[in-house]
Structure 1
Amino acid sequence: MLEGFSLERIQDKIECFEATDLKTLERKIEEQIENNKALLLEVANLSYQAVFDPNAGKIRYSAIVHFKAK
């Protein structure tokens, strides 16, 4: 018997994503949405931004996704 083992449902989860193009960023987010469905979580809020990375000479896209229990 496992002592101290608890099965509590996740109520909120915040995840960060980053990519060098929007298509990749969207794919990463969609994959995680599918993964989180198994935990009965859905997207509550999504925010994103794009910044120019002078070292790479490219735009970097990032997103923060707040998942909340259904």
Structure 2
Amino acid sequence: MDFKLDLLDSKVELYEADDLKSLEGQIERAIDINKALMLDVHSVSHQVVFNPRKERLLYSAVVHFKLKR
């Protein structure tokens, strides 16, 4: 019986929040969780748009994690 572990090479996660502070908190928690998987932040992209239904801003971010080398 062979026991083989496959490591994640890359992972992309998406987040959105009603305010910037909440979005930052979500990203910080994700960084801590992904450190346990030996993944570091490779890049972060963010965007702010106006949500006409809620009549307020919507903050979103894409975080790309890559395996520590």
Interval of TM-score (by shorter of Structure 1 and Structure 2): over 0.9
Give the total of aligned pairs: 68
The equivalent residue for 1:45 is 43
Give secondary structure in 2 for the equivalent of 1:29.
Answer: helix
For 2:64, the aligned partner's letter is: H
Structure 2 residue 14 is matched with structure 1 residue 11: no
For 1:51, the aligned partner's letter is: V
Cα RMSD between the aligned structures? Answer: 1.5
What are the residue-to-residue correspondences of 1:1-70 with 2, within 5 Å?
6-70=4-68
Q: Could you tell me which runs of 5 or more consecutive residues in structure 2 were left unpaired when the two chains were aligned.
A: none
Q: Could you tell me which runs of 5 or more consecutive residues in structure 1 were left unpaired when the two chains were aligned.
A: none
Deviation at 1:7, TM superposition (A): 2.0
Query: Normalising by structure 1, what TM-score?
Result: 0.91
Deviation at 1:6, TM superposition (A): 4.8
Query: Normalising by structure 2, what TM-score?
Result: 0.92
Runs (4 or more) in structure 1 with deviation over 3 Å come to none
For 2:26, the aligned partner's letter is: K
- Take 1:53 and 1:18, find their aligned partners in 2: how far apart are those partners? 12
